[in-house]
Amino acid sequence: MRISDSIENFIKDMLGEESHEVELRRNELAEYFGCAPSQINYVLATRFSPSQGYMTESHRGGGGYIRIVRVVETGPQKMAYLVRDRIGDSLSEEEALRIIAHLRDSGNATEAEASLMAAALSGKALAVPVSPEMKNALRARMLKSMILALANGHPQ
């Protein structure tokens, strides 16, 4: 298991099922895992972002800490946020996969639905002779449509 995965799992275990917030000290966490503090920053930026349902807050200086809050938003509110504010007009494959994983992890999509969505939005599925910008625009439109279909319980 990679160090990034270990750090992510450790933080998610601390959050648990009941807790929606955790405070950590970056240097203590880096020391615990035997890594540089920048590795902690990387995990926070890539694995605990708003698109994955987390807000992070950092306080620097003596006694500084990192606060990670799990945003508890499900159902239509979460779907509307993703379509309206998060996806935009262009979406990379990596970001699409993060959003799909969050939908799955939050219970807004089943494992099968998430797998189908990921396959349809993959670089392999979108291997057509158009620019990367055009593929990202198409990916964004397709994911929005899929999320609306999930929210409404039927295809658009």
pLDDT at res. 155: 46
Q: Which residues of the chain have pLDDT under 70?
A: 17-18, 51, 61-64, 71-85, 152-156
Position 10, amino acid: F
pLDDT at res. 120: 96
pLDDT at res. 85: 65
pLDDT at res. 83: 67
> Is 152 strand, coil or helix?
helix
**Nearest-angstrom CA–CA distance, 151 and 144:** 11
Burial 107-141 (b: 16+ CB within 10 A, else e): ebbeeebbeebbeebeeeebeeeeeeeebbbbbbe
pTM above 0.85, yes or no: no
